[in-house]
Structure 1
């Protein structure tokens, strides 16, 4: 084993080691970091695109454009009546003779077509495996006739560890909030039931024993159960179900007026919190 971030009396840190550390922290993909202008593209003319400042990490290899500056890329003229898709890539290259490495922005020109032009191919490559060229797609440049009509971003912007920690904290808070709301609801069931109504402002829908059987419990009561009800067929019965009432060990649907004698469909949701119930004074 050899130390990386430590003084040894001589230069010893290699680019391969540095990339391995970055891959271990950020990931093995290719990303733009959340700093500066995040390498935003700006169409300056139909022959020039400016890439603003920012930092990228391409398979662990980092490169930047200095703050408040830009890199200028030349786009070859389009053709009247033709369409073309060019590709802007961040290209890693390693000189096979002397091992010198570079990471620069390049334009790969596409092939003109009257319709549906294809984006040009690029070299994927694997830097840590020793490939001499590896491209990171940055933007597709859409050209129609003589004009650049669109610049499509192709990279992913990745947040910092602080951003990630904040999102995890927010997620945990949301989960805790949901648990706090639902921790005492142990069973829930929904369905539809047809019952016989009289010319009255209510009708019995469930007894405690019926709810016990439906939920598989033994102690359902007005102290640990809530039943929500609606009129499931307004054409058959013109009444509106205004709520539910518990009376004499049974749940009743309550109406805004007397129902007509006959059948009524009641749609319902039953919430049971018999175990671990929370009492609020």
Structure 2
């Protein structure tokens, strides 16, 4: 067993080559997270040119960690065999990776896997070996070409779009912002001392800022609750705080703890 293999390391000039495509593929698969098409360029957009031709535009494709691209300004024209009158068929346009094995010869092509015509169209079977574990052939479905009679009636995307790291960062920030503005938060005040037969207004901060003033629900707990009358009410709210009034109807001062929950409006 060879054990750990250095990849981004320098070796002596007389040493045998030690980096193969499958080494880079393992790294790309770890980063890319599986098969798919990057958002760069036209992301392999498909266009129907005729009932016998579908054009795939520029983009970057990952198949089992192995990368290919249709350069900017170029394209791949995929030939579709004629349909048959009163029959339906599904063809699959694939990005195909083949290898003879570790350190061997690899090829990547864009091909059309033809389905079987019949009353009901079904997808043809694809070969999807796990290249990382030694598989030799993997076909990534790009588009399903639906043929009814003699005509192509639809081209359906089958691959996953793989966002860039910057796009993922912006997406996470957007989701965090939406959750921040939709998730209720809870809190408890410190004990509020309220004078006899009087009230006290206390500003309570949420600890975060909502997109707009939330709805606040309050209740009492703790403090001097062996008294005949006390209460609380919300006087006002802002996006970052609310004012609570504690009311004491007793002949001596008392302490009150207020539990609260802020519900974002529109959540």
2:28 to 22, 26, 43: 22
- 2:203 matched residue in structure 1: none
- Partner in structure 1 of residue 265 of structure 2: none
Paired position in structure 2 for 1:167: 171
Query: Aligned residues, how many?
Result: 207
Provide the C-alpha distance between the structure 1 equivalents of 2:165 and 2:131, rounded to a whole number of angstroms.
Answer: 24
> Is the contact made by 2:97 and 2:137 (CA closer than 8 Å) also made in structure 1?
yes
Please list every run of 5 or more consecutive structure 1 residues that lacks an aligned counterpart in the other structure. Answer: 187-211, 227-246, 250-272
The structure number with the bigger radius of gyration is 1
Distance 2:109 2:188 in 1: 58
Question: What does 1:94-173 align with in structure 2 at a 5 Å threshold?
Answer: 94-95=99-100, 99-114=104-119, 116-173=120-177
SS at match of 2:37: strand
- Secondary structure of 2:98's aligned partner: strand
Q: Provide the rounded CA distance (Å) in 2 between the counterparts of 1:225 and 1:184.
A: 17
**What's 1:64 paired with?**
69
CA drift at 1:41: 0.8
Match of 2:57 among 36, 52, 57: 52
CA distance in 2, matches of 1:89, 1:49: 12
Matches within 5 A, 1:246-265: none
Deviation at 1:129, TM superposition (A): 1.6
Considering only aligned residues, what root-mean-square deviation do their CA atoms show, in Å? Answer: 3.4
Which sections of structure 2, spanning at least 5 residues, go unmatched?
190-217, 237-246, 250-256, 263-267
CA contact (8 A) 1:225 1:274 kept: no
Are positions 1:223 and 2:233 aligned together? yes
CA separation of 1:111 and 1:175: change in aligned 2, threshold 3 A = closer
Match of 1:81 among 70, 78, 86: 86
Name the SS of the counterpart of 1:25 in structure 2.
Answer: helix
Change (3 A) 1:99 1:221: same
Structure 2 distance, partners of 1:87, 1:141, is 6
- Once the 2 structures are TM-superposed, how far is the Cα of residue 83 of structure 1 from its aligned partner? 1.1
Cα drift, residue 25 of structure 1: 1.5
Aligned equivalents of 2:102, 2:64: Cα separation in 1: 22
**Normalising to structure 2: TM-score of the pair?**
0.67
Q: 1:6 to 1:109 in 2, by over 3 A?
A: same
2, 10, 18: which is aligned to 1:12? Answer: 18
Partner Cα distance (2:261, 2:87) in 1: 71
Report deviation, 1:98.
Answer: 8.5
Provide the TM-score with structure 1 as the length reference.
Answer: 0.64
Equivalent-residue separation in structure 1 for 2:103 and 2:181 (angstroms): 59
* Cα pair 2:185 2:261 within 8 Å, conserved: no
